[in-house]
Amino acid sequence: MSRSYFLMGRSHLTALWYAWHNQAEAGGPPPQPYAHAPLVAPGTRMTFLQLESQRYEPLFTPEGAFHPEVGRALATSAAQIHVSVLGGNDHSMIGLVAHPPGFDFVLPDEPDLPLDRQARLVPAEMLREELERRIAPHLRALALLRAAVAGRVVHIESPPPLPEDHIRRHSAPFADEIAALGIAPALLRYKIWRLHSGLYREACARLGVDLLPSPLAMRDPSGIMLPFGCHPDATHGNALYGGHVLKALLEFTA
């Protein structure tokens, strides 16, 4: 059965766009079809609204509505399913670089995860409050999206943290900080990502939005992104990762 989708977001939307158009980021077709290809029914459509365009800035009007261009795009959308790829990098902003002194925390959802005994233990609530402050504009946009359209709305969880070896080779946009301070331990980055995802999960439940988790097939046993799913920077998935997300989205909404 064919369906129509309207996807809106910022940088994490790019991997999905490349995958849908069957392109690798470097240009040209990928070496093999993406994982979602066999699931695409004839007539299925995906419309992408990339909010990083200056055309849509500022995103909110003084009255609290979407930018008029975004509002018009949503008002004229005939999509059956609207998909949020809003936000997603705030866990990296506070957790990717190894800011001294080292810290760790107990993840409420999985309190038995190991702790770094050499690090200062901080309350999870302190990190949660900082993440809440940072993601507030994205949750505001998600609430406006939900109010603007009828039918199903899905929010896609952000990609998991990337492996340290990859980040060292592709440290942008954190190159200066990493050179000075290093990279935070993978387990800490994973915990902060989980805390970040939990806030979106709570917001989705409150707003009546479905949450689509990041694909397990693209994570290693410790929850870190597999190397072949990494974009050549410190935080994003590539088009192959995007193909797995689209596969999960098509299955989730079948």
Q: How high is the mean pLDDT in each 10-residue block of the chain (254 residues)?
A: 94 98 91 93 97 96 98 97 98 96 96 96 98 98 98 98 98 96 98 98 98 98 97 97 98 97
Tally helices (H) and strands (E) across the chain.
8, 7
- What CA–CA distance (Å, rounded) separates 234 from 161? 9
pLDDT at residue 14, as a whole number: 97
Nearest to 158 by CA among 208, 227, 230, 213: 213
- What CA–CA distance (Å, rounded) separates 218 from 124? 27
Is the distance from CB of 10 to CB of 56 less than 8 angstroms? no
The whole-model pTM stands at 0.97
Q: And the tokens for 183? A: 């990279």
Q: What are the residue ranges spanned by the domains of the chain?
A: 4-252
Q: And the tokens for 181? A: 């301070």
Q: And the tokens for 147? A: 């109010």
pLDDT at residue 48, as a whole number: 98
Domain 4-252 in CATH 3.40.630.10: no
219 φ, ψ (degrees, to nearest 5): -120, 145
Residue with tokens 């795009």: 73
pLDDT at residue 83, as a whole number: 99
* Cis-peptide, bond into residue 58, ω within 30° of zero: yes
- What CA–CA distance (Å, rounded) separates 243 from 36? 6
- What CA–CA distance (Å, rounded) separates 19 from 250? 13
